[in-house]
Amino acid sequence: MTNDLNLDILGTSFKITVDEDEEYLNKVLAQYRAAVENTQSISGINEPLNVAVLTGFLLCDEINKMKQQLEDESIEISERTMNLIAVLDRALERYGE
Protein backbone atom coordinates (compact mmCIF):
# COMPACT_ATOMS: atom_id res chain seq x y z
CA MET A 1 0.00 0.00 0.00
CA THR A 2 1.52 3.32 -1.02
CA ASN A 3 0.58 6.66 0.47
CA ASP A 4 1.52 10.22 -0.32
CA LEU A 5 2.65 12.43 2.52
CA ASN A 6 2.80 16.18 2.11
CA LEU A 7 5.67 17.53 4.14
CA ASP A 8 5.57 21.19 5.07
CA ILE A 9 8.26 21.94 7.59
CA LEU A 10 10.94 24.57 8.11
CA GLY A 11 9.61 26.57 5.18
CA THR A 12 9.97 23.69 2.74
CA SER A 13 7.12 21.77 1.15
CA PHE A 14 7.23 18.57 -0.86
CA LYS A 15 5.40 15.30 -1.30
CA ILE A 16 6.82 11.84 -0.77
CA THR A 17 5.28 8.50 -1.69
CA VAL A 18 5.98 5.68 0.74
CA ASP A 19 4.80 2.18 1.54
CA GLU A 20 3.44 3.00 4.97
CA ASP A 21 0.08 3.49 6.61
CA GLU A 22 -1.18 7.11 6.67
CA GLU A 23 -1.68 7.05 10.44
CA TYR A 24 1.91 5.89 10.92
CA LEU A 25 3.21 8.57 8.57
CA ASN A 26 1.36 11.29 10.42
CA LYS A 27 2.75 10.00 13.71
CA VAL A 28 6.31 10.11 12.36
CA LEU A 29 5.78 13.60 10.95
CA ALA A 30 4.42 14.81 14.29
CA GLN A 31 7.47 13.34 16.05
CA TYR A 32 9.81 15.08 13.61
CA ARG A 33 8.00 18.39 14.03
CA ALA A 34 8.32 18.04 17.81
CA ALA A 35 12.03 17.22 17.43
CA VAL A 36 12.52 20.30 15.22
CA GLU A 37 10.76 22.51 17.78
CA ASN A 38 12.89 21.02 20.54
CA THR A 39 16.07 21.63 18.55
CA GLN A 40 15.09 25.24 17.95
CA SER A 41 14.28 25.82 21.61
CA ILE A 42 17.46 24.25 23.02
CA SER A 43 19.84 25.63 20.39
CA GLY A 44 18.38 29.03 19.57
CA ILE A 45 19.10 28.25 15.90
CA ASN A 46 16.45 29.38 13.43
CA GLU A 47 18.16 28.81 10.05
CA PRO A 48 16.05 25.99 8.53
CA LEU A 49 18.94 23.99 7.06
CA ASN A 50 20.94 24.17 10.28
CA VAL A 51 17.90 23.19 12.34
CA ALA A 52 17.20 20.23 10.04
CA VAL A 53 20.82 19.04 10.16
CA LEU A 54 21.10 19.42 13.93
CA THR A 55 17.73 17.71 14.44
CA GLY A 56 18.90 14.78 12.30
CA PHE A 57 22.11 14.57 14.33
CA LEU A 58 20.24 14.66 17.64
CA LEU A 59 17.79 11.98 16.47
CA CYS A 60 20.69 9.74 15.39
CA ASP A 61 22.26 10.27 18.81
CA GLU A 62 19.00 9.27 20.48
CA ILE A 63 18.67 6.17 18.29
CA ASN A 64 22.22 5.05 19.08
CA LYS A 65 21.70 5.56 22.81
CA MET A 66 18.51 3.51 22.67
CA LYS A 67 20.28 0.76 20.70
CA GLN A 68 23.07 0.68 23.28
CA GLN A 69 20.53 0.49 26.11
CA LEU A 70 18.75 -2.41 24.38
CA GLU A 71 22.06 -4.21 23.84
CA ASP A 72 23.00 -3.71 27.50
CA GLU A 73 19.60 -4.98 28.63
CA SER A 74 19.88 -7.95 26.27
CA ILE A 75 23.27 -8.86 27.73
CA GLU A 76 21.86 -8.56 31.25
CA ILE A 77 18.87 -10.76 30.36
CA SER A 78 21.20 -13.35 28.80
CA GLU A 79 23.38 -13.39 31.90
CA ARG A 80 20.35 -13.78 34.19
CA THR A 81 19.00 -16.55 31.99
CA MET A 82 22.31 -18.41 32.09
CA ASN A 83 22.43 -18.04 35.88
CA LEU A 84 18.90 -19.43 36.21
CA ILE A 85 19.79 -22.35 33.95
CA ALA A 86 22.85 -23.05 36.10
CA VAL A 87 20.70 -22.99 39.27
CA LEU A 88 18.19 -25.36 37.66
CA ASP A 89 20.98 -27.68 36.48
CA ARG A 90 22.43 -27.83 40.01
CA ALA A 91 18.99 -28.52 41.46
CA LEU A 92 18.39 -31.30 38.95
CA GLU A 93 21.80 -32.82 39.71
CA ARG A 94 21.10 -32.66 43.44
CA TYR A 95 17.54 -33.94 43.41
CA GLY A 96 17.59 -35.99 40.25
CA GLU A 97 15.63 -35.50 37.10
pLDDT, mean of residues 49-57: 96
DSSP letter string, 54-89: HHHHHHHHHHHHHHHHHHHHHHHHHHHHHHHHHHHH
Range of the domain at 58: 3-95
**pLDDT tens by residue, 6-16:** 889 999 998 98
Q: Are 55 and 35 in contact (CB under 8 A)?
A: yes
Total domain count for the chain?
1
pLDDT, mean of residues 22-49: 94
Tell me the CA distances in angstroms from 49 to 10, 24, 55, one per residue in order: 8, 25, 10
Looking at the whole model, is its pTM more than 0.75?
no
What is the per-residue pLDDT for 97? 60
